[in-house]
Structure 1
């Protein structure tokens, strides 16, 4: 999102995180901007029964956990490295200086946050109103638009990740994917989902 050289110019540090290492704890104070160089980060909440609800999965070049920096509230979710990850960590103060001094980056940053808000609003509607098949297609279509590809799109998520992102059980996702294949909405090739 923000060019790496610019992050370093504003005193960002590059940190290595191991798989399953917590980056952000829910309800902790937001003092840093995080951007992934390589790896994968999952933001999630746990309910009282210990069931995980995934707020988002982030990959190379993406940032995560920014809204509390601007809203001056605590993190509403936790973030964990899914696999070994390198990420940039920049203080909130230096992030604001960077954005103030680089209006073109500020605009790109704002657009990226707006897309993320759109995704959240879309998924929330899907979870509250629609059947499992519709929820899954909405998620896949969002990912395909994000990828920007017109050709057959391969979904890189596991059934567990799809379940976590759509608020469903894995068994429900598996049944829904089979139904979507029967209906011709998706293709299954070597156990991978395509649309």
Structure 2
């Protein structure tokens, strides 16, 4: 979701600067703000009982995060951590609800955004249930590419590290590296300047 920054500020939002690796909220916290990225990158993650990281999503400029929890009385099921120095606009929960009441068209946009998130979760759950690492990686890449205009081969840059791909798919980084090499041999991807083109 991307709400006009001027509108957010008119309802009392503030821009806050976060450092790389700084935690915006952690698993177990209660939602107190609407967050929208003005600059930088954020990862939503948590850790299993063995300490292995699972990344739910990586978000960038003009994307919001944590919004669904503003409508529930549940704690966050994940952490939000800066991957780089970031500027985040945050609007207190009460002000956010007031803004939605005065601008109901935003609720429709938010519903579309939530629907997209639910769709992503279904696609990822389906792909993560596969034992085949190629299907897991292709599922993630297909989803990421779905936001790219045009239907082309090897034109979409996957902007994640091998480790991030592993954390997003629940695979080991060694498995991701081997699988990407196999996908390259099969013509699914190409490598250019250490970037993956899908």
Bucket of the pairwise TM-score, normalised by the shorter protein: over 0.9
Contact 2:130–2:136 (8 Å) recurs in 1: no
Return the offset for 1:174.
Answer: 0.5
Q: Is 1:47 paired with 2:12? A: no
Which sections of structure 1, spanning at least 5 residues, go unmatched? Answer: none
What is the distance in 2 between the residues matched to 1:149 and 1:9? 37
What is the distance in 1 between the residues matched to 2:181 and 2:88? 37
Higher deviation after alignment, 116-125 or 168-177: 116-125
Other-structure match for 1:7:
8
Other-structure match for 2:77:
76
TM-score calculated relative to the size of structure 2: 0.95
1:106 alignment partner, SS class: helix
Return the offset for 1:149.
Answer: 4.0
2:44 alignment partner, SS class: strand
What is the distance in 1 between the residues matched to 2:42 and 2:120? 17
Return the offset for 1:148.
Answer: 3.0
Other-structure match for 2:185:
182
TM-score calculated relative to the size of structure 1: 0.96
Other-structure match for 1:164:
167
Instruction: Rate the CA distance shift 1:148–1:101 in 2: closer, same or farther, 3 A.
Output: farther
Which sections of structure 2, spanning at least 5 residues, go unmatched? Answer: none
1:33 alignment partner, SS class: strand
Return the offset for 1:130.
Answer: 4.4
Other-structure match for 1:97:
98
Higher deviation after alignment, 100-109 or 168-177: 100-109
Other-structure match for 1:65:
66
Q: Is 1:150 paired with 2:151? A: yes
What is the distance in 1 between the residues matched to 2:142 and 2:111? 22
Contact 2:57–2:168 (8 Å) recurs in 1: yes
Other-structure match for 1:120:
121
